Amino acid sequence: MTKRTPLRTTLALASAALLLISAGCEEKKTTTAAPEGSAPGQVTKLAVASYDPTRELYQELNPAFERWYKQTTGKDVDVETDHGPSGKQARDIAAGKETDVAALSVDFDVDTIAKAGLLPASWRERLPNGSVPYTSAVIFLVRAGNPKQVKGWEDLARPEVVSLCPDPKTGGGARWIYLSTWAHAVRKAKAEGKTDAEAEAAAREFTTKVYDDALLDPAMRGSSTRFIAQRTGDVLFGWENEILQIANDPSTTGQFEVVVPSDSITIEVPLAVVDKVAERHGVKEIAEAYVKFHFSDEGQELIARRYNRPYSEAIAKKHAEKLRPLTLFRFKDHFSDWPTVMNVHFGQGAELDKMRKK
């Protein structure tokens, strides 16, 4: 079971391990699940792989599920979650990493696992809302007093503003941030009456300015650590839940300010049972209960407490004061599909590579 650790402690530990993080390493835990019907008193283990900014969420959600499962079935289960860049998690699972549940940051990564034959291509249909229990957005974090006067997206392109974010080459979470940057520029150009071709050119120019100068880390937590512990840069732009956790942590009181940009992409985060692995471990029923727990009132409440935007409208309304009003748009409003986006923006020699002159 993931042990409960305050965010400030996590950040301190992450700072000490920054060189490892920058090299692309992520926290891992070896998990061997006991089969169903094991000896009385034996705890069955469930292995979950997730992306970086969910660490604090699963420190609360996993024990809650364990309690609920014990009360419901009388059986003990120990959920162990490891974290790392979403894309790498998907590739590792597809290559044989023993994972019963994948809770990743983009459905394209779950599709990678499905293409390896470990779960059906129709996995989205097995849970509500296309198997997306919550969403997030892209917002900014600046230092107290906002010394560089960062107000919105355009300020990220100013040469005197040093920004930090995760590397879109590494994981799905970082790709959402990149796509939000690109789509903002398209939307702005269209609002100014520019043609589709002109809007695309404007997006390319703007995103190049942002990403050519940005300091990139393999994962969002690495960027957060650099910004906080090493006091590097002027603005951290990334996932809303990660930034609000930092801003509301007692150890950082008065050190930072949140800046809400004019618009953001809706970040949709899926999860799915990795059928073939869960069946081999004899934990398919537990894995299915675990993913459904995310959509329960208790699961949605825990999700909202960690500054995520829950699927449940009732829970979202209850926690509305945690999240500032923000103009949100969907992936499909500006992009066709993830395979096309991966080829056009993130493939070898694609848009992102052309931007990274330095």
pLDDT at 287: 98
**Top-confidence residue, 246 or 2:** 246
List, in order of start, the domains of the chain with CATH numbers: 7-132+270-294 (3.40.190.10), 136-267+326-355 (3.40.190.10)
pLDDT at 244 over 60: yes
pLDDT at 131 over 50: yes
- In this prediction, residues 329-354 reach a mean pLDDT of 94
273 SS3 class:
strand
The string of pLDDT tens digits covering residues 93-107 is 999 999 999 999 999
The string of pLDDT tens digits covering residues 150-209 is 999 999 999 999 999 999 987 788 999 999 999 999 999 999 999 999 999 999 999 999
pLDDT at 53: 82
Angle, CA 228 vertex, CA 223 and CA 234 arms, to 5°:
75
pLDDT at 145: 97
pLDDT at 330 over 50: yes
Which segments within 169-317 are labelled E, that is strand?
A: 215-217, 235-239, 256-259, 263-265, 267-269, 271-273, 309-310
pLDDT at 356: 77
Share of the chain above pLDDT 90, in %: 78
- Contact status, residue 76 vs residue 44, Cβ threshold 8 Å: yes
- In this prediction, residues 54-64 reach a mean pLDDT of 95
Q: 118 — phi, psi (to 5°)?
A: -95, -15
Token pair for residue 307? 């500054």
Q: How confident is the model at residue 357 (pLDDT cuts 50, 70, 90)?
A: low
pLDDT at 40: 54
- In this prediction, residues 300-304 reach a mean pLDDT of 98
Q: How confident is the model at residue 223 (pLDDT cuts 50, 70, 90)?
A: very high
Q: How confident is the model at residue 52 (pLDDT cuts 50, 70, 90)?
A: confident
What is the identity of the amino acid at 319?
H
- Contact status, residue 18 vs residue 222, Cβ threshold 8 Å: yes
Give me the residues paired with residue 164 across strands: 215, 236
Give me the residues paired with residue 103 across strands: 50, 271
Could you tell me which residues come within 8 angstroms of residue 193 by beta carbon, excluding any fewer than 6 positions away? none
- Contact status, residue 238 vs residue 260, Cβ threshold 8 Å: no
Q: How confident is the model at residue 33 (pLDDT cuts 50, 70, 90)?
A: very low
The string of pLDDT tens digits covering residues 192-214 is 999 999 999 999 999 999 998 89
Q: What is Dmax (Cα atoms) for the chain?
A: 69
pLDDT at 358 over 60: no
pLDDT at 292 over 90: yes
pLDDT at 18: 35
Average pLDDT, rounded, for the chain: 89
Between the alpha carbon of residue 152 and those of residues 232, 237, 328, the distances in Å are 19, 10, 14
Q: Which residue has the tokens 């002159």?
A: 357
pLDDT at 219: 81
